C-alpha cells in the first residue's frame, strides 16, 4: 500500500493526486492513512485539525501513536465551553502531543462584525466565518495537507466523504471516513481515554456554547448543533 502511495509524483495536480491516493487508501486503517499522509507531504507540511470535542480523543490517539509531533490546530473561537478548553489540556498531557496550536479570531474582525457578541444569533454563518473559517485558513497557510475527523456515519454532507480529497491547493485526509461508532468506542476503551466532560451532561457533539445543545432521545450526535436551523456545518468543510 505504502509503495503505491509513494509512487505518485509530487508535481501531480492536487485533484489527481487526491483521487489516486483515495483509490489506494479507501480501505486502509486510520493509522495507515496518517502514515501515508506523512510520507506524501512530510511532517512540516501536514497538520491535524481538532475541535477537542466528544470524539476527538480517538483520532488524536491514533495520530499520537504514529507521530505525536504532527502539528495540531485548535480553533479557539472565543465561544467554547470551559470544559472543552480543559479537555484540550488534558489530552495534550495524556497523549504527549508536542505541537498544539490554539488559533483565535482576528480582533479587528470581531470588533468590526461582532462587537456585541450577538452575531451567532443573527447570522450564524457569518459568525462561523470570522471565528472558524478565516482562522483555519490562516492557520493552514504553511501546510500542503491536513487531517480531520469527519466520519460517514455522522450523515448529512458527511455521508459520502472520501478518505482523501482535494481541498483547493491542499490534500485533505479523512482517516475516520470508514470508521463506525463502535470503532470509535473501541479506541476509547482500549486506550482508556477520558471522555469529554460534557458527555455526562448529555452532549453528544460539542462546538461553540450558543450553538450546541444536549441530544434528545433518538437523535444523532450532530442534531444538537445549530438546533432549529437548516445549518449543519460551520463552513470549514464546505468552502
Active site residues: 234
Q: How far is CA 77 from the centre of its chain?
A: 14
For helices 56-66 and 82-95, what crossing angle results, to 10°?
20
- State how far the Cα of 30 lies from the Cα of 13, in Å rounded to an integer: 24
Are 8 and 31 a contacting pair, CB within 8 Å? no
Residue (of 20, 77, 87, 12) closest to 56 by Cα position = 87
Are 55 and 180 a contacting pair, CB within 8 Å? no
Torsion angle, CA of 79/80/85/86, rounded to 10 degrees?
A: 120
Are 61 and 30 a contacting pair, CB within 8 Å? no
Amino acid at each position: 500500500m505504502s509503495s503505491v502511495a509513494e509512487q505518485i509524483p509530487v508535481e501531480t495536480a492536487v485533484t489527481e493526486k487526491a483521487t489516486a491516493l483515495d483509490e489506494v487508501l479507501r480501505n486502509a486503517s486510520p493509522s495507515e492513512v496518517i502514515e501515508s499522509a506523512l510520507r506524501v507531504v512530510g511532517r512540516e507540511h501536514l497538520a491535524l485539525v481538532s475541535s477537542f470535542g466528544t470524539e476527538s480523543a480517538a483520532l488524536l490517539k491514533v495520530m499520537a501513536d504514529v507521530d505525536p509531533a504532527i502539528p495540531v490546530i485548535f480553533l479557539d473561537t472565543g465561544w467554547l465551553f470551559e470544559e472543552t478548553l480543559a479537555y484540550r489540556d488534558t489530552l495534550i498531557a495524556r497523549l504527549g502531543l508536542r505541537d498544539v496550536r490554539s488559533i483565535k479570531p482576528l480582533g479587528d474582525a470581531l470588533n468590526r462584525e461582532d462587537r456585541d457578541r450577538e452575531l451567532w444569533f443573527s447570522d450564524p454563518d457569518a459568525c462561523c466565518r470570522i471565528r472558524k473559517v478565516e482562522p483555519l485558513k490562516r492557520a493552514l497557510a504553511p501546510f500542503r495537507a491536513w487531517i480531520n475527523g469527519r466520519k460517514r456515519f455522522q450523515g448529512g454532507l458527511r455521508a459520502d466523504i472520501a478518505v482523501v480529497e482535494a481541498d483547493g491547493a491542499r490534500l485533505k485526509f479523512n482517516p475516520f471516513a470508514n470508521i463506525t461508532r463502535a470503532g470509535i468506542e473501541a479506541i476509547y476503551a482500549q486506550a482508556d481515554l477520558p471522555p469529554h466532560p460534557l458527555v455526562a451532561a448529555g452532549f453528544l457533539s460539542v462546538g461553540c456554547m450558543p450553538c450546541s445543545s444536549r441530544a434528545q432521545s433518538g437523535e444523532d450526535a450532530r442534531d444538537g448543533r445549530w438546533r432549529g436551523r437548516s445549518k449543519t456545518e460551520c463552513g470549514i468543510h464546505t468552502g
